[in-house]
Amino acid sequence: MATFVLVPGMCHGGWCFADLTGQLRRQGHAVHPLTLTGLGERSHLLHGGVNLDTHIEDVTALLAAENVHDAVLVGHSYGGMVITGAADRMPERVDCLVYLDAVVPAHGDSCWALVSDQERRWYLDVEDSGYATRPLPFFDSRATPHPLASLLQPLRLAGEANRFRRRDYVYAAGWDGESPFTPVYERLSQDPSWTTHALDGGHNLMRDAPDDLLKILLDIARPSDDTLEEGRFTP
């Protein structure tokens, strides 16, 4: 069975994966839906120094504390920044990377650098402390302000991203309007080192296309014949 670590996007917490978590656990998998520092039930930990490194450490600390190996890291939206950094820092504990309608950064990229001017204007709508971006009005009522420094800090990578068993991109094809992730999906669709999927749902695929998303994740969790022969999984 696989171990999934689920990393949410901006302003969200582990609660956004509640249904998916239950479905994966019923299939026998271990699942860790993560709320990043400064958000959700951890919003009391918000301060000006909470940045991308903090969120990457949230994931690497979980992998170490839970003694997780061969993890499937799943990042939604902003969470793509986080899983990329965590996999780079602990590659020996990671098996696969899954990007759910997410940014896919390279070395030196920040979330700020990868998004449109419209999204940057949202990022600068900060709460009174100046530490965090306000949730958009249509977000779930549980959404909380997102640490601004995590959006501005460039990602530092030391290794090659293609060293993992699989890298999957799950694209939401049902945006109301133009999706900012279309160029990412189109580029990765031409890259043989990636597996891409397009689902008929909005940005929050966990809510809009739960059954199709579950099928994709269950397929990713299934080790290939080559992996079994290498002894990384046991029947």
Q: Which two tokens stand for residue 73?
A: 């890291």
Q: Of the listed 43, 77, 129, 193, which one is catalytic?
A: 77
CA gap 15, 21 in Å, rounded: 9
Catalytic annotation on 77? yes
Are the beta carbons of 201 and 228 closer than 8 angstroms?
no
Print burial letters for 179-197: b (CB count within 10 Å at least 16), e (below 16).
bbbeebbeebeeeeebbbb
CA gap 163, 229 in Å, rounded: 18
Q: Give the bridge partners for 126, in sequence order.
A: 133
Active site residues: 77
